[in-house]
């Protein structure tokens, strides 16, 4: 691949990830992740809880806060940087199949990947780490260089330290290696490989233990990272937490990820033909295995949310890029370019223009601009303020008011000049002498009001 193409695509990755990065309000989950990172930096306290996912995001974001300050922009840097690295590594797959730039283009412009690469969540860390681990595995198979053993193992550790679905990726990766060895009847392992693999496992184990135990200060964190983690998410599956119908992701794919879907569908007949003729390479078999396992796992799990779409988009793009031979034909190129332009238009509109509109299926309970207006008013007026919302449903306000010192409680307490609460408590607060003065939409369907103590 020409050096100029690589440079252009990497520049596009940087621009698309960093442009107006702090324009969108911090969402509910984003604000919790950012706030816990802020607490980790200030108070040096962290305890792993499966509900809030792995420690990697918190420790790295806290480090960035320490270096660059805490802000919306810096809170989103870790997933941004990982997504840029993923684009670079995607281009490196040129060593294994010709059209790696097609895979990189999808990682660049996919609506789901672009939107959530600028979002303080763990999914782009997991996905990018998996792509690096896969590239390292095939690079080792090709070159036998030990450095790739360490890269694959270390980034596998990063995966499972970032989010619990890292275990799903690890299971996919390990099971493929085992099945492929059985398929090829090849069980030979060199002593040199075993030596380096053993050392890399020690390093990965240290990373895992250090992060989940918060620097070895909380040994119970290792139990929560394994036994309790699986128990928590199995319970979430059984209780239908964030339940969606089995076709939920299929609908999102048709809406937003039509390009990688078309690529994957076009590649299936070619794969089947080559498999029947016993011409498939190891990376072709892996691409198909990743595609199938991802679709089965994420469609079966009851916990379905739009940011998990990235874990289906990537395997479609990877598999489809391997079989993008239609780009050698004029008609094939025309169709691909048209679909790519449509994809760029959709992702650009969702990411930069209409990025808080929850009528879009890709955008989930996104906090509204009123959140920032409310936080600015609280800070500018400087009055003693209580955020009184039953169920603690006041996020992302704790993040926005982290430097201010407002009170947060699911119960009412007297002695505050201003109370922020829901409309259900209007009469109650009026009886306490408060006057309602302003309505703010936290997210669609969830409004809070400004109640100020009347000075008689």
| Tens-place pLDDT, residues 254-289 | 999 999 999 999 999 999 999 999 999 999 999 999
Read off the pLDDT of each residue in 158-170 and give the average, rounded to a whole number.
96
State residue 392's pLDDT score: 83
Q: How far apart are CA 369 and CA 397, in angstroms?
A: 12
Q: How far apart are CA 93 and CA 132, in angstroms?
A: 10
Read off the pLDDT of each residue in 419-433 and give the average, rounded to a whole number.
95
For the whole model, what pTM was predicted? 0.95
Whether residue 405 has pLDDT greater than 90: no
**SS3 (DSSP) at 388:** strand
Domain ranges within the chain, ordered by starting residue: 3-353, 369-453
Read off the pLDDT of each residue in 27-34 and give the average, rounded to a whole number.
95
Whether residue 85 has pLDDT greater than 70: yes
The fraction of the chain above a pLDDT of 90, given in percent, is 88
Read off the pLDDT of each residue in 307-313 and give the average, rounded to a whole number.
97
Residues 6 or more apart whose CB falls under 8 angstroms from that of 261 comprise: 253, 254, 316
What confidence category does residue 456 fall into, taking pLDDT thresholds of 50, 70 and 90?
Answer: low
Q: Which two tokens stand for residue 277?
A: 């003729």
The fraction of the chain above a pLDDT of 70, given in percent, is 99
> Pick from 50, 351, 405: which is nearest to 227 by CA?
50
Q: How far apart are CA 165 and CA 122, in angstroms?
A: 10
Whether residue 72 has pLDDT greater than 90: yes
Residues 6 or more apart whose CB falls under 8 angstroms from that of 190 comprise: none
Distances (CA, A) of 299 to 60, 69, 174, 194: 31, 40, 21, 36
State residue 241's pLDDT score: 72
What confidence category does residue 25 fall into, taking pLDDT thresholds of 50, 70 and 90?
Answer: very high
Regarding beta strands 385-388 and 407-409, do their DSSP bridges make them parallel or antiparallel, or are they unpaired? parallel
Backbone angles phi and psi of 410, in degrees to 5: -80, -5
Q: How far apart are CA 294 and CA 71, in angstroms?
A: 34
| Tens-place pLDDT, residues 121-155 | 999 999 999 999 999 999 999 999 999 999 999 99
Q: How far apart are CA 124 and CA 139, in angstroms?
A: 22
């Amino acid at each position: 691949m020409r050096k100029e193409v690589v440079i252009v695509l990497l520049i596009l990755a940087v621009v698309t990830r960093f442009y107006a990065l702090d324009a969108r309000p911090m969402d509910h989950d984003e604000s919790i992740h950012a706030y816990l990172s802020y607490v980790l930096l200030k108070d040096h306290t962290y305890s792993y809880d499966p509900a809030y996912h792995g420690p990697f995001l918190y420790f790295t974001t806290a480090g960035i806060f320490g270096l660059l300050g805490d802000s919306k922009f810096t809170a989103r840097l870790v997933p941004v940087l990982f997504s840029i690295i993923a684009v670079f590594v995607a281009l490196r797959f040129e060593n294994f199949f010709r059209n790696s730039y097609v895979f990189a283009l999808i990682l660049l412009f996919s609506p789901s990947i672009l939107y959530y690469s600028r979002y303080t969540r763990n999914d782009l860390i997991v996905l990018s780490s998996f792509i690096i681990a896969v590239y390292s595995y095939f690079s080792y198979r090709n070159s036998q260089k030990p450095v790739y053993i360490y890269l694959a193992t270390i980034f596998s550790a990063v995966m499972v330290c970032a989010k619990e679905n890292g275990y799903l990726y690890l299971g996919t990766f390990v099971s493929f290696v085992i099945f492929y060895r059985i398929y090829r009847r090849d069980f030979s392992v060199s002593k040199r490989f075993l030596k380096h693999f053993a050392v890399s496992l020690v390093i990965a184990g240290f990373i895992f233990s250090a992060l989940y135990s918060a620097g070895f200060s909380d040994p119970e964190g290792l139990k929560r990272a394994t036994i309790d983690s699986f128990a928590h998410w199995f319970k979430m599956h059984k209780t239908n937490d964030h339940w969606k119908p089995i076709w939920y992701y299929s609908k999102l794919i048709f809406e937003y990820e039509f390009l990688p879907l078309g690529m994957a569908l076009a590649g299936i007949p070619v794969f089947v033909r080559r498999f029947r003729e016993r011409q498939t390479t190891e990376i072709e078999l892996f691409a198909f295995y990743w595609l199938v396992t991802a679709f089965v796992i994420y469609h079966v799990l009851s916990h379905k949310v739009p940011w998990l779409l990235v874990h289906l988009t990537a395997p479609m793009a990877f598999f489809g890029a391997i079989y993008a031979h239609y780009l050698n034909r004029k008609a094939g190129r025309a169709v691909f370019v048209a679909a790519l332009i449509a994809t760029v238009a959709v992702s650009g509109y969702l990411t930069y223009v209409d990025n808080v509109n929850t009528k879009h299926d890709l955008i989930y309970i996104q906090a509204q601009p009123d959140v920032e207006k409310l936080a600015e008013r609280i800070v500018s007026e400087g009055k003693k303020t209580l955020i009184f919302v039953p169920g603690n449903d006041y996020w992302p306000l704790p993040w926005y008011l982290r430097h201010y010192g407002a009170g947060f409680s699911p119960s009412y307490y007297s002695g505050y000049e201003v109370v922020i609460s829901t409309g259900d408590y209007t009469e109650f607060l009026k009886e306490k002498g408060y006057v309602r003065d302003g309505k703010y939409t936290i997210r669609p369907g969830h409004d809070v009001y400004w109640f100020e103590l009347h000075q008689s």
